[in-house]
Every structure is written in C-alpha cells, then in structure tokens.
Amino acid sequence: MCGIVALIGSREAAPQLLEGLRQLEYRGYDSAGIATVHQPQQGAAALHCLRAEGKLVNLTARFEAQGAPGLCGIGHTRWATHGKPEERNAHPHLDASGELAVVQNGIIENYRSLREQLQASGVLFRSDTDTEVIPHLLAGQLRQLQAKGEPASGALLLQALQQVLPLLQGSYALAVVWAQTPAALVVARRSAPLLIGLGEGEFLCASDTPALAGFTRTILPMEDGEVALLTPLGIELYGADGGRRQRSPSLLSGTEQVVDKRSFRHFMLKEIHEQPETAALWVARHLPEDPGGHLVALPFDEDFYAGVERIEILACGTSRHAAQVGAYLLEQLAGIPANVFYASEFRYSPPPLSAHTLTIGVTQSGETADTLAALAMEQERRSLVADPSFAPRLLGITNRPESSLGRLVPHLLDIGAGIEVGVAATKTFLGQLLAFYGLALAFAERRVGRGPNREQLKTLVVGLRAMPQQLRQLVEEHDRRCAELAHRFESTQDVIFLGRGINYPIALEGALKLKEISYIHAEGYPAGEMKHGPIALLDARVPVVSIAMPGKVFDKVLSNAQEAKARDAQLIGVAPGGKDTEIFDLLLPVPEVDELLSPLLTVIPMQLLSYHIAAHRGLDVDQPRNLAKSVTVE
Ligand code: F6R
C-alpha cells in the first residue's frame, strides 16, 4: 500500500525513480510524485518536486515536460488513506521552506494532535494528509540544531530524524531528502517494509522488491525501528536505540523477476494462465515420486507436526478464503480442529488460549498489516504463559519469503508462484490452496487412523499430480468461453454465488473477484443458507452462480439451485456436464474429480468470468479503484 523509492548515486535519479515507481504501481495508483536535489556547478543546491494526480503516466509526462535534475531523490505512488486522491495530497510533502521533502508509506496515527500543535505554532498545512506533519517537524528540529551552530550535513539530517521519529505513532516507511545535503538521504521504517538495494556506487531504497529487481540483486532488508543514512559512499544503519548496526546484505531470490505482461492484455489474465505452471512447480517440489518415506515433502522436521491438537488460521481477503479451504482439509483429512479468523478481528477479540495450538498466518505479500499484527499478538500472549503446552507455534504461508512475515515466523511455506502484479489475487490463491493440501496431507499421514487411510491419501496425491494438466485445459477452455459470455452481464448489478462444503469458500472467492474488478455487487453464500433470507433478493435480473461438484453435497446444491430457478434467477452452473446439471441455463463445465480436490478447478471459471466481465466493461482490471495489492496499514 503506497510504494516508495529513494536513490542516491552518480547518475540522474529521476528516470530510475520513475522506473522503480512503475514496478511498484500495483501498491497504489491514485497519484504519484518525485523530489530530487540538484547541486548546480555554481550556486546553492535546490529541491525539485513534481507531483501528479492519477496514474504514473501523468507524472512521467510532467517529468518529460519539466525535468527534475539531481543525483539524489525520492518517489512515491499513493493509495489514499488520509486526504482525497488529489495532487495536493500526493507525496512528496514539503516543509514551509520547500527545502525538505518526505515520502511515507503507512499511517501516522497521532497526526491530528501533531498537526494542531504545529498549526498553533504558525505552520500552514497544504494537504489533508497525515504525512505532512513529518517535514514540518523535521524542519523545526533542523532549525533548532542549526541554531546551535551545527552545519548542514547528512549526519545532521539523520539526527533530526532520530529526534522526530519517537514523536510519531503508527506504522511507516519513509524517505527524506534535504536541499542542503545533496549527497545524503535518510530513510526509516516501523512496521512497514523497506529494503535497501546495493548497486555500484549507488543505493536504491524501496518498499518492495520489484523496484529493486532490475537495479540490483544485493539487498539489505531494514528491520523494525531502523533508520539509515545513505550517501554515494555507503550506508550507515542505526537501531531504534540510536546504536550503529552492521549487517551483511542478502541476495534477492530468483523468483523476483522484473514484471512483464508478455502478450496478455492484463497482468491478471497472464497470472490466471500461469496457474498450471504454479501447480506444476508445486507438485515437482512437494510431491516428488520418492519423498523419502512420506507422501508429501515439506520443509519441516518431525517436531513441527508433533502434538498439534488445534490449528488457528489468520488471514485477510482472498487469503482467508484459501484458509477456509485449508481448515476444511485439516479437519476432514487430518482430524485436527481448525478455525479461521479475520486477522483484523482476531487482534481485538482473540479466542481464549488453547493448548498445543499451531497458528498459521496466510498472506501472499507477507506484508498485510493486520495479519502480521495478529500473528505478533498471538506470539506475545502465548509467550507470557508459563505452561509450555501454550507456547507459540507459528507457521506462515506466503509468496514472499523475504517479506516481514518471513522474518516473523520460524516456519514458512513458500508457495513459489512468482510475483503477482494484478491486484486481484489469482495464482497466489491457487498456490495457497496447494500449500494447504500439502499441509493437510502431511498431518493426515502422521495421524492415520483418525481420518482417511493411507490408500485414500495416496489417491489424493495422484489426483494432485494430475492437476497441472487439468488446469491447463480448463484455463484455455474457460478463457474462450467466458470471453464469449461476458456481454450477457452488461447490465447486471447483482450476482449471487452459491457453494457448499469445501466449495463454499470458492463461492466467497468468486464473489470477491467479481466485486473488486467489475464493481458489480456480489455475495457468496453457503447454498443451504439462501432460503433463510438472501433468496428474497432473487428475480430474473440476478444471476446465480452455483458450484455443484459431485460428492457429499451434490444433490443438496442442485436442490438449492432449483429453489433459485423457481424464483426466475438465471442459473449458471460450475459443474460437470451431464443429466444432473441440465437445470443450469449456462454451464461452466469442470471435470469430475474427488470432491476434496475440486476447489483447485472450480476457482478457474470464477476467475475468468470476473476477468472477462470486467475487461468487457473496459475497466482497469489490474488496478481497480480504491484497492492496493499490499495492505500495509491497519
Ligand atoms: C483479493 C485480494 C485481497 C488480498 C488481501 C490479503 O483479490 O487480493 O483480498 O487477498 O488484501 O492480502 P495478502 O494475501 O497479501 O495478505
């Protein structure tokens, strides 16, 4: 949520800043800006700030017209939290003299009181943002230090920032440049990601790895509370206590490619088409023909599985839907009671502590603030209990092992789907589902006797191995089919998605995908629950998408679909073809597989139907309004 970049070195900063912002645009795209510091051969250095409302192209056009010289600069692409998406609220924000510029990702929770204090001392604010308090506070601090005779320097800017940060409450990653120090910039983070990339005689700092991937593979992720001074000569890193820190950099993993749409019209479509490959890589990694005496190869030792009696899963949005499928599998396959929580709710109303509990955080970005905070809270409250049976046992499921999640939890399942740029999660959802299949099978095979027997588990493994090929056919077929159908939804305003059992979370996911990219109102319901209220919404204008896969609840779902049809609803079936499914007005056919595996297939028509409806409406599928890919604020 909001992308920030900062560069210092020996080349013009602005083009690289704009390229970095291009790679981060999926984090926010309602406005963007850069500020550079230019030291002319003669005379004083000056700050150049460009900002533009809307997409990055507007800022790029402004840069091409006006330029922004300088070897040092900062940039920002915004997802509005405080203040409307207008140019005056775009970052960077400046102090009154126009010499200091700040970009920030996060929320300064106490900005109101800080703003009031600053206003009382005569400061005029030019935006509605929480961020603008920072340049004003910094300017005041620098004035005080300079009044004592301290000359302008990077060290002075660092000192001022270190004095201002304790005044800020909330989470942030920020970068600052100052016209009086053209060869220095400072950065800081608290509970929001920030990484420094080490180039040759230059340093690039960014809130997410895609901005760094085309620049360098050598990175130094900043830790919570750290502050850094960057000059063309090197980095000085300090902890929140002011102490100097030394740490070796690490290498970006191979999956962090520079993003490219290839020949697809949208990233989302490309990512939907990448799912067979996501599954193939997952099968190759975790279901090898000889996984050493086990059915599944996961990167955990036996202690990880021992004595787990309960599982709690924390997640948001699409990740939460994957978690719901996961909980179903963990209960039905492995016989372990499993509960899924909205991370944002869990934080403030956690359930009573249970013993021998594994806590799983699911977040594709590894940066979702609510999920991270809920996990940290759970770790802390469990650590305070003397009884060792309540000790924290934490696992993260993510697509970004280098993320904050990766640093928070001791065990990690990397879904390895490669970077996902489309704001609507698709291939990472499939990756999360697969991670849960692996986990549930791994627990189940260690608990045979309490659920399915080993032969049944082996059958599921065979079914999973066949998934990449089945997905390949399904994606191709439904891409064509959904493209042909999209025009039928031109005037649709509401859609109901029904599913039961293991496909209920897929109904939720279908509704979420449609809402977020097409702006059509959609609801996902457990099919049996319709008659308890939502059926009142139905008439001929409300299509009902019903997931009806053979298994325990097949007949029940068909009966529920009949109830909708009797109210004139247009019925769309996600189901195998055949006599039973002739009740559907439209069929999105999915091959019959073991019901437990069916979510891996039923989600495909959901994704493609939403995609084509939104694309047919001419909407910005990859960057839907009001959304951001990585939600790093509470
Ligand atoms: C929906 C979507 C969001 C995310 C949610 C959690 O398509 O992408 O609902 O699933 O913001 O994000 P992560 O998984 O990064 O924690």
Element (H, E) at 547: strand 544-547
pLDDT at 352: 96
Distance 170 CA to ligand 1 centre (A): 21
Instruction: Please state, in angstroms and rounded to a whole number, the distance separating the CA atoms of residues 102 and 34.
Output: 10
What is the SS3 assignment for 188?
strand
Which domain CATH number covers 614? 3.40.50.10490
Polymer length in residues for the chain: 634
pLDDT at 280 over 60: yes
Alpha-helical segments (H) within 486-598? 504-518, 554-565
Place 440 in a pLDDT band, splitting at 50, 70 and 90: very high
Q: Which of 355, 353, 403 is nearest to 192 (CA)?
A: 403
Task: Give me the CATH number covering residue 82.
Answer: 3.60.20.10
Q: Contact, 205 vs 197, CB < 8 A?
A: yes
- CA distance linking residue 400 with residue 413, whole number of Å: 10
- The pLDDT, as a whole number, for residue 625 is 80
For residues 156 and 273, state if they share a domain: no
pLDDT score for 633: 65
From 134-138, 269-273, 290-294, 529-533, the region with the lowest mean pLDDT: 290-294
Asked about 629 being catalytic, the answer comes back as yes
- Within-domain flag for 317: yes
Residues 268 and 203 in one domain: no
The reply to whether 632 and 485 lie within a common domain is yes
Looking at the structure, tell me whether residues 214 and 319 fall in a common domain: no
Q: How far is the CA of 428 from the centre of ligand 1 (A)?
A: 9
Q: What's the alpha-carbon Rg for the chain, to the nearest Å?
A: 26
Residue 634 vs residues 372, 397, 563: alpha-carbon distances, Å: 10, 20, 40
Q: 212 with 275, same domain?
A: no
* DSSP SS3 for 35: strand
Q: Is 2 known to be catalytic?
A: yes
The verdict on 152 and 184 lying in the same domain is yes
Instruction: Give me the catalytic one of 2, 72, 205, 316.
Output: 2
Residues 242 and 296 in one domain: no
Question: Strands 195-198 and 218-221, how do they pair?
Answer: antiparallel
Distance 466 CA to ligand 1 centre (A): 27
Specify burial of residue 65 (Cβ count, 10 A radius: 0-12, 13-18, 19+).
Answer: exposed
Domain's final residue, options 200, 216, 251: 251
**Same domain as 586, residue 559:** yes
How is residue 92 written in tokens?
């960077």
- Does the reported pTM lie above 0.85? no
254 burial via Cβ count (<10 Å: 0-12, 13-18, 19+): exposed
Which pLDDT value is given to residue 258? 52
Ligand 1: residue of 368, 428, 610 to mutate (most ligand atoms within 8 A of CB) is 368
474 within domain boundaries? no
Counting atoms of ligand 1 from 1, which one is nearest the CA of 423? 8
| Nearest-angstrom CA–CA distance, 398 and 414 | 5
Q: 3-state class of 560 per DSSP?
A: helix
Please return the burial class of 510, using the count of CB atoms within 10 Å of its CB with bins 0-12, 13-18 and 19+: buried
Atom of ligand 1 nearest to the CA of 631: 11
CA 363 to ligand 1 centroid distance, Å: 7
Q: How many domains does the chain have?
A: 3
- Across residues 6-24, what is the average pLDDT? 94
CB atoms within 10 A of CB 55: 16
Dist. CA 320 → ligand 1 center (Å):
8
Residues 121 and 171 in one domain: yes
Q: Which range among 29-38, 406-415, 530-539 shows the weakest confidence by mean pLDDT?
A: 530-539
| Contact (Cβ atoms closer than 8 angstroms) between residue 275 and residue 475 | yes
Q: Reduce the DSSP state of residue 102 to 3 states and report it.
A: strand
Does the CB atom of residue 318 touch ligand 1 within 6 A? yes
**Nearest CA-CA partner of 357 in 400, 387, 323:** 387
Mean pLDDT of 456-484: 96
Higher pLDDT residue, 250 or 314? 314
In this prediction, residue 426 carries a pLDDT of 97
Pocket of ligand 1 contains residue 632 by CB under 6 Å? no
Structural domain contains residue 328: yes
Give pLDDT, residue 1.
67
Answer whether 323 contacts ligand 1 (Cβ < 6 A). Answer: no
User: Range of 494's domain?
Assistant: 479-634
Of the listed ranges 182-186, 508-512, 562-566, 582-586, the one predicted with least confidence? 562-566
* Whether the CB of 365 sits within 6 Å of ligand 1: yes
Has residue 35 been placed in a domain? yes
Nearest Cα to Cα of residue 60 among 32, 81, 37: 32
pLDDT tier, 450 (very low <50, low <70, confident <90, very high otherwise): confident
Burial 347-372 (b: 16+ CB within 10 A, else e): beeeeeeeeebbbbbbbbbbbbbbbb
Residue 513 CA: which ligand 1 atom is closest? Answer: 7
Structure tokens at 314: 């924390």
What pLDDT digit, counting tens, does each position of 76-131 carry?
Answer: 998 877 778 888 999 999 999 999 999 999 889 999 999 999 999 999 999 999 99
Position 555 in a domain: yes
Residue 255 pLDDT > 70: no
d(CA 480, CA 256): 30
Please indicate, yes or no, if residue 322 is contained in any of the structural domains. Answer: yes
Cα-Cα-Cα-Cα dihedral sign, residues 586, 592, 598, 600: negative
The structure tokens listed for 425 are: 């999660």
Residues 6+ apart with CB under 8 A from 430: 275, 278, 279, 417, 471, 600, 603
CA distance 133 to 88: 14
Task: Count other C-beta atoms under 10 Å from residue 38's C-beta.
Answer: 20
Residue 37 and residue 167 share a domain: yes
CA-closest candidate to residue 311, choices 447, 407, 453: 447
Of the three residues 465, 490, 509, the one that is the final residue of a domain is: 465
| Amino acid sitting at position 461 | V
Neighbours of 319 (CB within 10 A): 26
Scan for tokens 């077929």, then name that residue: 477
CB 315, CB 323: distance < 8 Å: yes
- pLDDT range class, residue 547, cuts 50, 70, 90: very high
The C-alpha atoms of residue 578 and residue 573 are separated, in whole angstroms, by 12
Token output for 378 = 């759970």
Do 246 and 280 sit in the same domain of this protein? no
SS3 558: helix
The full 3-state SS of 403-458, as one line of letters, equals CHHHHHCCEEEECCCCCCCCCCCCHHHHHHHHHHHHHHHHHHHCCCCCCCCHHHHH
- For residue 472, being part of any structural domain is answered with no
Amino acid at 113: S
Q: Is 363 near ligand 1, meaning CB less than 6 Å away?
A: yes
Alpha helix (H) residue ranges in 182-266: 210-213
- The owner of tokens 């109901």 is 496
Protein residue closest via CA to atom 15 of ligand 1: 365
At 254 the pLDDT is: 55
Mean of per-residue pLDDT scores for the chain: 93
Q: How far is the CA of 526 from the centre of ligand 1 (A)?
A: 21
- Ligand 1 atom 5: the closest Cα is on which residue? 317
Averaged pLDDT, 65-81: 92
According to DSSP, residue 294 is labeled S
Residue that finishes a domain, picked among 187, 220, 251: 251
Same domain, 273 and 242: no
The answer to whether position 617 is within a domain reads: yes
Q: Whose CA is nearest to atom 3 of ligand 1?
A: 317
Is the preceding omega at residue 182 within 30 degrees of 0, hence cis? no
- For 194-224, how does the pLDDT look when each residue is reduced to its tens digit (9 = 90+)? 999 999 889 999 998 888 878 888 999 999 9
For 28-37, write each residue's pLDDT tens digit.
Answer: 788 999 999 9
How far is the C-alpha of 194 from the C-alpha of 103, rounded, in Å?
Answer: 12
Read off the tokens for 263. 């020949």
Question: What's the number of CA atoms in the CB half-sphere (13 Å) around residue 536?
Answer: 3
Measured distance CA(444)–CA(423) in Å, rounded? 34
pLDDT at 632 over 70: no
Strands 521-526 and 170-178: unpaired
Distance CA 272, CA 269 (A): 5
Q: What is the pLDDT of residues 330-370, one digit of tens each?
A: 999 999 999 999 999 999 999 999 999 999 999 999 989 89
Percent of the chain with pLDDT over 90: 76
